[in-house]
Amino acid sequence: MLDKISIRVIRWPLTQSANLLNKTGVTANQTTLFGFVLGCLAFPALIAEQYTIALMFIVLNRICDGLDGALARIQGITDAGGFLDISLDFLFYSLIPFGFVLANPEQNAIAGAFLIFSFIGTGSSFLAFATMAGKRGIDNPVYKNKSLYYMSGLTEGTETIACFIAFCLFPQHFASIAYVFGAACWFTTFTRIYSGFQTLKEER
């Protein structure tokens, strides 16, 4: 829901940073992989309940996620790069709540499982429609510089980052935040399934 706003805010600094990285020979795919490694380092920090350190790696991962897209727009957007980016993004999204589950299984296990379950809904509906949209040549008027169709919803990347930050700042409230955000993700899933089905039905 907020991605359209956040993209406008961060576009200029990301573009300037990407221009500098491009001059050094860094590629978009290298940035994607490096960002994923940084994101994975949040996992042991979460298990050890070092939430400030985990937050640092989460933020660094998201910065790299923005930089790889900015680099791709300079170097050329590819299907392989888009595939790598979205695959590692979804793995990272599931890794963070799993880390909180392992940090405190008694309090966080059910809430964490519910949130990961909700991510399956948002992720599968997102990717399923992107596949069909690519097959039918349906263009996204909002996210024109993406390698695949980005279907909007109540919970997008910006909201997910905000959720992860809240987890790290208020780890004692992980379960409550996870239930609320998971419910919002299910709302996104149902609206995506409905609107996606209607769109594809009309495009037939």
Span 24-78, pLDDT tens digits: 999 999 999 999 999 999 999 999 999 999 999 999 999 999 999 999 999 998 9
pLDDT at site 144: 54
Token output for 164: 């992860």
Span 120-142, pLDDT tens digits: 999 999 999 888 887 877 766 55
Give the closest residue to 193 by CA, choosing from 120, 105, 129. Answer: 129
HSE toward the beta carbon, residue 67, CA cutoff 13 A: 24
Least confident stretch, 129-133, 163-167, 189-193: 129-133
Quickly state the pLDDT bin for 152 (edges 50, 70, 90).
confident
Give the closest residue to 103 by CA, choosing from 48, 39, 54, 52. Answer: 48
pLDDT at site 133: 83
Residue linked to tokens 């399956």? 120
Residue linked to tokens 């793995």? 91
Residue linked to tokens 């907020």? 2
Mean pLDDT of the chain, nearest integer: 90
pLDDT at site 116: 97
Quickly state the pLDDT bin for 149 (edges 50, 70, 90).
low
pLDDT at site 94: 96
**CATH code matching the domain that covers 3-203, chosen among 3.60.21.70, 1.20.120.1760, 3.30.70.3340, 3.90.180.10:** 1.20.120.1760
Q: How far apart are CA 73 and CA 37, in angstroms?
A: 22
Strands (E), 45-200: none
pLDDT at site 130: 86
DSSP conformational letter for 118: H
pLDDT at site 157: 84
Cβ atoms within 10 Å of 100's Cβ, excluding its own: 28
> Residue 170 is which amino acid?
F
One-character DSSP codes across 41-85? THHHHHHTT-HHHHHHHHHHHHHHHHHHHHHHHHH---HHHHHHH
pLDDT at site 11: 83
Q: How far apart are CA 2 and CA 131, in angstroms?
A: 23
Domain range annotation of the chain: 3-203
